[in-house]
């Protein structure tokens, strides 16, 4: 996993990228703002590759950070917030719920 962070940080600093959009993780991962640039480590997939494969239910592959055709509500929003907040706080970012359904990125010191 360290190699992923190094590649993302290098892409921002040396290749002057403004945003890194991670995908194909099948489930959401952390978010970081690095030198003022957004890194989204895992947005999930448009395609559910786990269909019919048991044992991965805890990863909630049905919820991704891509555009929802059906908006997440209730406990699904809370689950996404909890996972993203847990995975993002190590980089000084927190995720909060605004208005009952919107996930908002907050930077901390």
H or E segment to which residue 20 belongs = strand 19-21
Query: How many whole angstroms separate alpha carbon 14 and alpha carbon 17?
Result: 8
Percentage of the chain beyond pLDDT 70 is 71
- What confidence tier does 38 reach under pLDDT thresholds 50, 70, 90? confident
> Does residue 94 have a pLDDT over 80?
yes
Instruction: Determine contact, residues 88/34, Cβ cutoff 8 Å.
Output: no
Q: What is the mean pLDDT of residues 95-101?
A: 88
This prediction has a pTM of 0.64
Q: Which residue has the higher pLDDT, 52 or 22?
A: 22
| Tokens linked to 31 | 């978010």
- Residue 68 DSSP class: -
* pLDDT bucket at 96, cuts 50 / 70 / 90: very high
* Number of domains present in the structure of the chain: 1
Range of the domain at 83: 2-107
Mean pLDDT of the chain: 77
């Amino acid at each position: 996993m360290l190699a992923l962070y190094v590649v993302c940080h290098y892409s921002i600093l040396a290749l002057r990228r403004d945003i890194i959009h991670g995908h194909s993780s099948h489930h959401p991962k952390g978010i970081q703002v690095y030198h003022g640039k957004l890194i989204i480590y895992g947005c999930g997939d448009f395609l559910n590759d786990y269909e019919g494969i048991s044992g991965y239910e805890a990863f909630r592959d049905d919820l991704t950070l891509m555009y929802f055709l059906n908006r997440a509500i209730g406990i699904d929003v809370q689950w996404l917030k909890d996972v993203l907040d847990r995975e993002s706080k190590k980089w000084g970012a927190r995720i909060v719920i605004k208005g009952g359904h919107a996930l908002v990125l907050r930077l901390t010191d």
